[in-house]
Structure 1
């Protein structure tokens, strides 16, 4: 498994946000979704901001395309941590596709067909916090926890991933829904020189894949009622 470690504190940019809230999520806009002002608190998940087009007829979508997951990082980050970013993208893409493949309500397809919804993802940040009620520190997804985190007074923290999702009609490109979500991973012991690895982030990636499947089912059922 590929691991990476950036040894100097100056390589980290720690962005201090507010409490663990949707305001924190919106402050981390990457530009992937293009438009964020329509996002509202999700009725399904308090850690998610959600937009669903009022005229979206999810009952008519029987096929789902899942695009390869993108990692939003600058060129220097990609160059330094290419191996881990590739692992994260491939793992997340496969998990979501497997989840859809096993869903009896949808057929996984690789090309646009009639009644096909396209799902696109971007992993845009890794966050760490003492717990869900305290201040978050936002770290660009390609960075690791180093001496800079210790200098901030951190002890044991929880790793989180911020993901942005866009669902469109695969043929017309009409936006059906958008979401920004923060998912929890494994605890990180800051008092040791911990490298951020795929194994550390897998629990959060697994939750994202599962919840995407659940949200698609819920939206389809809601439209049918």
Structure 2
């Protein structure tokens, strides 16, 4: 991130459509099938594009263009809690995992860069993962888009709110 960079220092913040560039490593190591990952990332990109397409106004001058890409989506079991290490509960937890009924944490991975339109210079860049929360394994397996929709809406609303606060 460039020293002195702040979103509010720009007059207009423009968002390029979110791209999807799935990482082969994530495709190979995810418990989700490649087709499910593709379906989910296309859905997520569509929601983000819809939420950010109007752009935002800052307090300064000049334009800032935000470019972003989704690089993967993965599901994993939640971390074991202390009580789950007890012999009886550990056996139940393991059985739930093997039986596919244990909830999964859904994580999306994305890359973002902000480009000053006057200079063409990248003033901020970030690669990160975002935990959307837990999704029932069967729901995720049978209908991934409907399974994540409530979590995704909450996450996108949170991103928009956070972005708006950074402009004040």
User: Whose Rg is larger?
Assistant: 2
SS where residue 129 of structure 2 aligns? strand
**Root-mean-square deviation (Å):** 3.6
Partner of 2:31: none
Does the alignment pair 1:122 with 2:78?
no
Structure 2 segments unaligned to the other structure (5+ residues): 28-33, 81-96
Partner of 1:197: 144
Partner of 1:182: 130
Partner of 1:71: 20
Number of corresponding residues? 141
Partner of 2:45: 89
The answer to whether the 8 Å contact 1:56/1:176 transfers is yes
C-alpha change, 1:215 and 1:203, in structure 2 (3 Å) is: same
Partner of 1:58: 7
**Given the two structures, how large is their TM-score scaled by the length of structure 1?**
0.48
2: distance between equivalents of 1:202 and 1:173?
Answer: 35
The answer to whether the 8 Å contact 2:64/2:115 transfers is yes
The answer to whether the 8 Å contact 2:41/2:70 transfers is no
Does the alignment pair 1:172 with 2:101?
no
Structure 1 segments unaligned to the other structure (5+ residues): 1-51, 108-113, 135-149
Flag the structure with higher helix content.
2
Question: How big is the shift at 1:61?
Answer: 0.6
1: distance between equivalents of 2:71 and 2:99?
Answer: 22
2: distance between equivalents of 1:126 and 1:85?
Answer: 7
SS where residue 173 of structure 1 aligns? coil
Partner of 1:155: 102
Question: How big is the shift at 1:155?
Answer: 2.7
**Given the two structures, how large is their TM-score scaled by the length of structure 2?**
0.61
After superposition, the C-alpha distances for 1:195-216 in whole angstroms (9 at most, x for unaligned) are 3532223344334433433443
Question: How big is the shift at 1:115?
Answer: 1.2
The answer to whether the 8 Å contact 1:186/1:200 transfers is no
